[in-house]
Amino acid sequence: MTLRLRKSINSSLSYFLFAIKTAMRAVEICMLNKALIKTDTRVAHLPGTENGHLRSVFLSARAIELLEKLSFSQWVRSVLDKATN
């Protein structure tokens, strides 16, 4: 198995596990950004969910760990650094 394929599989698995751990839909995961994650409470506030209401999602230690593996923008690293320190 090539390194590129292994990274792709690991990334896909991380997205899948993150979705399970947080009960977030794929669209909600894709719309995550720095403004939606509150580092002090480790909660993601999701506007415009399927039912049109704000939804708050607690981010467990495992969810934070999985976020570190996901290939979001660099802001994820800075947000996670603040949440874990």
Give the separation between CA 34 and CA 69, rounded to whole angstroms.
Answer: 16
pLDDT tens-digit profile of 6-46? Answer: 766 666 777 888 889 999 887 788 788 778 888 788 999 98
Q: Kindly tell me if the per-residue pLDDT of 57 is higher than 80.
A: yes
CA atoms within 13 A on the CB side of 67: 31
Percentage of residues in the chain having pLDDT higher than 70? 74
pTM for the structure as a whole: 0.68
Question: What pLDDT does 75 receive?
Answer: 47
